């Protein structure tokens, strides 16, 4: 494994960094002022997007981008350092059409949409003409377990009918959001079979075949955006919204993939998306560490600079170690996605692992930086308070840490059962060896 950037990645990273330094950072204060004035997206975003597209800095995240589709698709491993750099400026990704949740939605449509759906939805998304949202989590259930979902979809003639409530749906308040991709519980016979299939699935089959994904235009009657929910008192202009679907009707051709394939498609969407999220997190942590080290050199307390305080030195050192460790783990995951040779369970565990590591990393590193800054670290004068808020949210979004830790543990136990007794050769006494059933039988 060689995780050093390829020549292609170095070239594109240099172009991206130059573009951000020249065009985006000078507009950072203006972006925040525009959002404060409730003008979103800021009027200059369109010009920046057009310039980025001219530079080829567009749709960089999609490895299987076709020749006729706009953008420059890179491998997961080549895109990772670019995502890290974009993460330092949270609004930057939208300039390059690489922002969540649209990147994950484009990945989903690119893999599973039919020709008509691609023309109607994917192509405008690839061109940056519209925005989209992915609706899975719900307020009344533990949504990390999809079997709990209560939003239903049922067939009625030539239409699908959706009913339910979703919340913390990122991007749904964006004024250019035109598409809602909805994860639903199938409302077929007994809830276990397709609407045109009288044969019920077994409970084991139903666990992963009782969901479907439906494409719902945002202007569909019955779809209501109830509110934009603040995340730890931070209100995102693009929204983390609560939605209600009351007898929402869409044509039968708005089903993505097949009936009952929603769970598998949603899982396929998560892998690359988590790599993107984690690398953006690492970019924010790098910036937080840079800010903390500079502040420590400038700020004095009790007769000496903070940089001379041993506990502050420990914080900076711990942050450096944790960032580098996390980056290597995420790059390994990107490499595994590109190679496509890892068993599904191993890849799933790896993706779960980086999600936990990134959330822990961000809350720890940013918290230390805030402590170095003192009261200023709590204010909106630096990006640290927002970074910490997002890091805290990462412990829950896309499944809480505990769910991903369980995935990792189950994968380790599965491997242990397959090799049961193998480690007994390392025991130091015959009595211990005899205690292992595999060897004593």
pLDDT digits (tens, 9 = 90+) for 385-399: 999 999 999 999 988
296 has a pLDDT exceeding 50: yes
- Residue 190: the pLDDT is 39
pLDDT digits (tens, 9 = 90+) for 28-55: 999 999 999 999 999 999 999 999 999 9
Average the pLDDT over each of 308-312, 321-325, 387-391, 429-433 and give the range with the smallest value: 429-433
- Residue 436: the pLDDT is 61
pLDDT digits (tens, 9 = 90+) for 169-227: 999 999 999 999 999 999 875 344 455 554 555 555 567 789 999 999 999 999 999 99
- Residue 61: the pLDDT is 96
Cα–Cα distance for residue pair 111/105, rounded to 1 Å: 10
pLDDT digits (tens, 9 = 90+) for 408-421: 999 999 999 998 88
- Residue 269: the pLDDT is 83
pLDDT digits (tens, 9 = 90+) for 146-170: 788 999 999 999 999 999 999 999 9
433 has a pLDDT exceeding 70: no
Average pLDDT of every residue of the chain: 92
Identify which has the larger pLDDT, 431 or 423.
423
């Amino acid at each position: 494994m060689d995780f050093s950037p390829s020549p292609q990645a170095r070239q594109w990273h240099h172009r991206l960094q130059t573009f951000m330094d020249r065009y985006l950072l000078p507009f950072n204060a203006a972006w925040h002022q525009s959002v404060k004035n409730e003008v979103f997206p800021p009027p200059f975003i369109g010009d920046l997007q057009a310039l980025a597209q001219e530079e080829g800095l567009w749709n960089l995240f999609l490895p299987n981008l076709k020749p006729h589709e706009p953008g420059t698709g890179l491998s997961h491993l080549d895109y990772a350092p670019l995502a890290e750099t974009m993460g330092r400026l949270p609004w930057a990704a939208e300039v390059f059409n690489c922002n969540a949740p649209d990147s994950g939605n484009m990945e989903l449509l690119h893999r599973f949409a039919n020709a008509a759906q691609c023309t109607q939805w994917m192509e405008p998304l690839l061109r940056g003409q519209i925005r989209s949202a992915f609706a899975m989590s719900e307020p009344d259930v533990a949504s990390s377990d999809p079997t709990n979902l209560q939003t239903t979809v049922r067939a009625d003639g030539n239409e699908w009918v959706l009913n339910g409530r979703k919340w913390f749906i990122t991007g749904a308040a964006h004024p250019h959001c035109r598409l809602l991709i909805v994860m639903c519980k199938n409302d077929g016979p007994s809830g276990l079979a397709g609407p045109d299939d009288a044969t019920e699935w077994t409970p084991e089959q139903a666990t992963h075949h009782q969901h479907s994904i439906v494409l719902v235009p945002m202007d569909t009657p019955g779809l209501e955006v109830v509110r934009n929910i603040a995340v730890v008192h931070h209100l995102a202009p693009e929204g983390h919204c609560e939605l209600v679907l009351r007898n929402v009707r869409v044509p039968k051709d708005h089903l993505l993939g097949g009936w009952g394939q929603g769970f598998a498609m949603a899982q396929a969407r998560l892998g690359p998306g988590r790599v993107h999220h984690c690398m953006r997190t690492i970019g924010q942590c790098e910036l937080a560490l840079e800010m903390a080290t500079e502040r420590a050199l400038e700020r004095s307390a009790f007769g000496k600079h903070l940089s001379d305080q041993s506990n502050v030195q420990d914080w900076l050192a711990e942050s450096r170690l944790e960032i580098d460790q996390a980056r290597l783990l995420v790059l390994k995951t990107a490499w595994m996605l590109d190679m496509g040779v890892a068993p599904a369970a191993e890849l799933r565990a790896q993706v779960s692992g980086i999600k936990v590591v990134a959330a822990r990393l961000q809350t720890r590193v940013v918290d230390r930086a805030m402590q170095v800054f003192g009261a200023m670290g709590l204010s909106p004068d630096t990006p640290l308070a927002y970074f910490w808020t997002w890091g805290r949210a990462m412990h829950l979004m896309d499944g809480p840490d505990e769910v991903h830790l369980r995935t990792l543990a189950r994968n380790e136990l599965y491997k242990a059962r397959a090799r049961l007794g193998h480690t007994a050769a390392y025991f130091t006494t015959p009595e211990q060896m005899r205690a292992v059933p595999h060897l004593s039988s």
